[in-house]
């Protein structure tokens, strides 16, 4: 037996490793096993009746520690990753600086290595021992020919009383997952077992997706890279958000940090990319690999391919990050609510709107640059939010950029995005929108009174017709009013051509029903599928007609015939929609309906005919406004004080919801 001495004092080792925790120390031995080309690591321990651990062992199926190189390996405190890589010809190195073998003093008194290695096709075995009280000395036995496989087992005895079964479950396992999850994901054969139970690292995976990235070369050659995206629900220990480039044998050839690494938004991620293209990476290049496009490849064409690949991957990550940030932004606002750092607002509609507007601004800003909200204490959060609140309705946006620029670096794109957000969330604009939504809800409430409160005795011509004329937005934002009642078809045609083409022409209709008058004629100024969409509406007051019958249906069918028989109404391949609206319809009409959910009676290539109930029309509009209604929490019962028919009609005239042509 021989005795050797390391080239550093024991107190110096303890001082250098002072910040190590027991869990980090144990993970170093797992790393050493993988560095020795192991694929499986076993951590075993025995717990006594008091939940204390007397012994821990960590074993691997790696190459072992060559006795002939023992002095060189154990005498030096630091050992570079590159040297370890070259000695083991490994595709990856996990050990930090070659001092992991000394870290056991953080959780045990003694460490013993039982290692087997290959020497001239013989498996040789020997042991190494170190005491935590004398880290500068180690002892080793002489090697003997024994065993059939290589590997190392490190046994730790007289374990610290703080290391218990609870420590293993609540501290060590989560730490190992955060330390090795990315690594275990690289190859299926990489595994860690704790007391024969495989470490399930998948519990820290929040999202994953396999996807291809195709890159075309200048020579028209196409390479399709197999990629896998992983988002972690916890930060990897000392590991960046990176791209991992593997060949088809799954040997790791290189890594590169992503553009979204350390953005302060908890978007922890990894992307594994596989193809034999990476076999051409120049691993011996000592240059800074941050400029991977020009450093890792000797061939110019390969550099271009790699640059395009990395660009595509970063764009993919940006798309993945958007919905994540949206969710995180909502969580941030909820957290700020709990911390009570938002400015104080009243409970009136005005203040409720201002608060919601500020919250939306915070969310939007977070989605552009999360770092703005990082590392702020409670008082700083209050000041920052108050600043945003004050600036929202001012013209001092550029000053806000200066302030934010002191916190994070804003590039030109960031400034444009912030300017866009502030411009679209100006308080005056928001308040005017709130007024419009409130008035539209008021309009619907009054329409309900006209069509459902028969005691008001609203008639079709003077009340319902006039009301709908002022508020034809009910049928869609894309329409313009061509004409309403008392306008004959020929006059309607002239107005229609003017709206559509900007041309005043005398148009004549050769049809026996050309003097009929439509209740409402709306033209779709927004083209859909390259053709104008128009709407003809015939309305019936429930006060006079309880149920629609064939008589009313024949009336609108007459309109269909006039329009379809007139070429000038169809010069631009128009599509026509016809509505017959009443309180209800009889069984004859009901039996003719081909789609009960929409009231569709007839559908052709250039037109469709619907019969609608007033309740269906109102419900459709309410569904469109529901999300705004819920956000604003407008109390509909307080919207209108109008009770008489005269008051309702006057209120409907002085309302921002009235459609303006």
* pLDDT profile of the chain (661 residues), mean per 10: 60 80 92 91 91 93 90 58 40 53 89 93 93 88 89 94 92 94 89 96 94 85 91 86 90 88 84 92 53 66 90 92 89 93 79 81 82 82 82 57 51 60 52 68 86 84 85 82 77 77 70 81 71 88 88 91 87 89 92 92 93 91 70 51 72 63 55
User: Which residues, in sequence order, are CB contacts of 184 under 8 Å at separation 6+?
Assistant: 190, 191, 192, 199, 201
Given CATH 3.30.420, say whether it is the number of domain 454-653: no
Q: Which helix (H) or strand (E) holds 380?
A: helix 378-391
Could you give the angle at which helices 397-407 and 412-424 cross, rounded to 10 degrees? Answer: 130
* Domain residue spans of the chain: 2-199, 202-312, 340-425, 454-653
User: Which residues, in sequence order, are CB contacts of 72 under 8 Å at separation 6+?
Assistant: none
Q: β-strand 268-274 against 252-257: which pairing, if any?
A: unpaired
**In whole angstroms, how far apart are CA 517 and each of 451, 548, 553?**
22, 19, 15
**In whole angstroms, how far apart are CA 79 and each of 27, 28, 100, 127, 288?**
18, 14, 10, 21, 20
| CA–CA distance, 391 with 404 (Å, rounded to integer) | 13
Q: What is the pLDDT of residue 380?
A: 85
User: How many CB atoms sit inside 10 A of residue 37's CB?
Assistant: 17
- CATH code for the structural domain at 2-199: 3.30.565.10
User: The pTM is what?
Assistant: 0.55
Contact yes or no for 451/637 (Cβ under 8 A): no
- Using alpha carbons only, give the angle 188, 191, 196 rounded to the nearest 5 degrees: 135
Q: What is the pLDDT of residue 495?
A: 80
User: How many CB atoms sit inside 10 A of residue 285's CB?
Assistant: 12
335 token code pair: 């957290």
Chain mean position to CA 505: 54
The rounded radius of gyration (Å) of the Cα atoms in the chain is 38
pLDDT tens string 623-660: 877 656 565 554 445 455 666 777 777 766 666 556 65
Return the percent helix, strand and coil in the chain, to nearest 5: 45, 25, 30
Contact yes or no for 124/67 (Cβ under 8 A): yes
User: How many CB atoms sit inside 10 A of residue 395's CB?
Assistant: 8
């Amino acid at each position: 037996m021989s005795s050797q001495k390391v080239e550093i004092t024991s107190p110096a080792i303890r001082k250098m490793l002072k910040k190590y925790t027991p869990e980090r120390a144990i993970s170093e031995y797992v790393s050493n096993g993988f560095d020795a080309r192991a694929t499986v690591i076993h951590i075993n321990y025995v717990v006594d009746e008091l939940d204390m651990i007397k012994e821990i062992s960590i074993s691997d199926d790696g190459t072992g520690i060559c006795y002939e190189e023992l002095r060189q390996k154990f005498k030096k405190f630091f050992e570079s990753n590159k040297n370890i890589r070259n000695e083991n010809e490994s595709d990856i190195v996990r050990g930090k600086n070659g001092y992991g073998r000394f870290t056991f003093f953080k959780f045990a008194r003694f460490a013993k290595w039982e290692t087997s290695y290959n020497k001239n096709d013989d498996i040789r075995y020997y042991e190494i021992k170190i005491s935590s009280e004398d880290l500068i000395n180690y002892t080793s036995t002489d090697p003997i020919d024994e065993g059939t496989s290589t590997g190392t087992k490190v046994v730790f005895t007289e374990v610290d009383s703080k290391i218990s079964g609870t420590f293993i479950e609540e501290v060590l396992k989560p730490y190992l997952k955060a330390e090795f999850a990315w690594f275990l994901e690289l190859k299926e054969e990489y595994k860690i077992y704790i007391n024969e139970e495989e470490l399930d690292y998948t519990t820290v995976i929040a999202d994953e997706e396999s996807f291809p990235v195709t890159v075309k070369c200048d020579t028209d050659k196409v390479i399709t890279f197999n990629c896998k995206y992983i988002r972690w629900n916890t930060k990897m220990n000392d590991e960046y958000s990176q791209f991992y480039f593997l060949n088809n044998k799954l040997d790791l050839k290189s890594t590169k940090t992503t553009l979204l690494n350390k953005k302060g938004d908890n978007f922890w991620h990894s992307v594994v990319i596989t193809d034999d293209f990476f076999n051409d990476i120049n691993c011996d290049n000592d240059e800074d690999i941050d400029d991977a496009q020009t450093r890792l490849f000797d061939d110019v064409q390969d550099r271009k391919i790699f640059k395009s690949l990395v660009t595509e991957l970063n764009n993919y990550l940006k798309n993945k990050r958007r919905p994540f940030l949206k969710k995180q932004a909502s969580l941030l606002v909820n957290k700020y609510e709990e911390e009570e750092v938002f400015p104080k607002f009243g409970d009136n509609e005005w203040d409720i709107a201002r608060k919601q507007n500020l919250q939306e601004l915070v969310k939007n800003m977070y989605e552009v640059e999360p770092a703005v909200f990082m590392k702020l204490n409670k008082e700083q959060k209050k000041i920052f939010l108050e600043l945003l609140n004050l600036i929202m309705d001012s013209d001092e946006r550029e000053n806000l950029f200066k302030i934010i620029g002191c916190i994070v670096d804003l590039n030109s794109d960031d400034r444009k995005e912030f300017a866009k957000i502030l411009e679209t969330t100006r308080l005056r604009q928001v308040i005017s929108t709130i007024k419009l939504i409130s008035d539209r809800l008021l309009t619907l409430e009054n329409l309900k009174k006209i069509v459902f409160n028969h005691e008001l005795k609203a008639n079709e011509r003077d009340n319902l017709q006039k009301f709908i004329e002022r508020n034809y937005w009910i049928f869609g934002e894309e329409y313009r009013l061509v004409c309403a009642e008392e306008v004959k078809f020929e006059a309607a045609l002239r107005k229609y051509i003017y709206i559509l083409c900007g041309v005043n022409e005398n148009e004549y209709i050769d049809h026996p029903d050309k003097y009929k008058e439509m209740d409402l004629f709306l033209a779709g100024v927004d083209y859909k599928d390259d053709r104008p969409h128009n709407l003809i509406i015939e309305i019936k007051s429930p006060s006079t007609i309880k149920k629609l019958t064939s008589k009313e249906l024949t009336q609108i069918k007459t309109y269909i015939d006039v329009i379809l028989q007139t070429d000038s109404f169809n010069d631009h391949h128009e599509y026509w929609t016809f509505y017959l609206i009443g309180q209800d319809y009889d069984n004859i009409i009901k039996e003719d309906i081909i789609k009960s959910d929409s009231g569709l009676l007839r559908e052709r290539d250039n037109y469709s005919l619907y019969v609608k109930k007033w309740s269906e029309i109102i419900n459709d509009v309410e569904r469109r406004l529901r999300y705004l209604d819920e956000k604003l929490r407008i109390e509909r019962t307080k919207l209108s004080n109008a009770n008489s028919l005269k008051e309702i009609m006057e209120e409907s005239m002085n309302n921002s919801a009235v459609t303006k042509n």
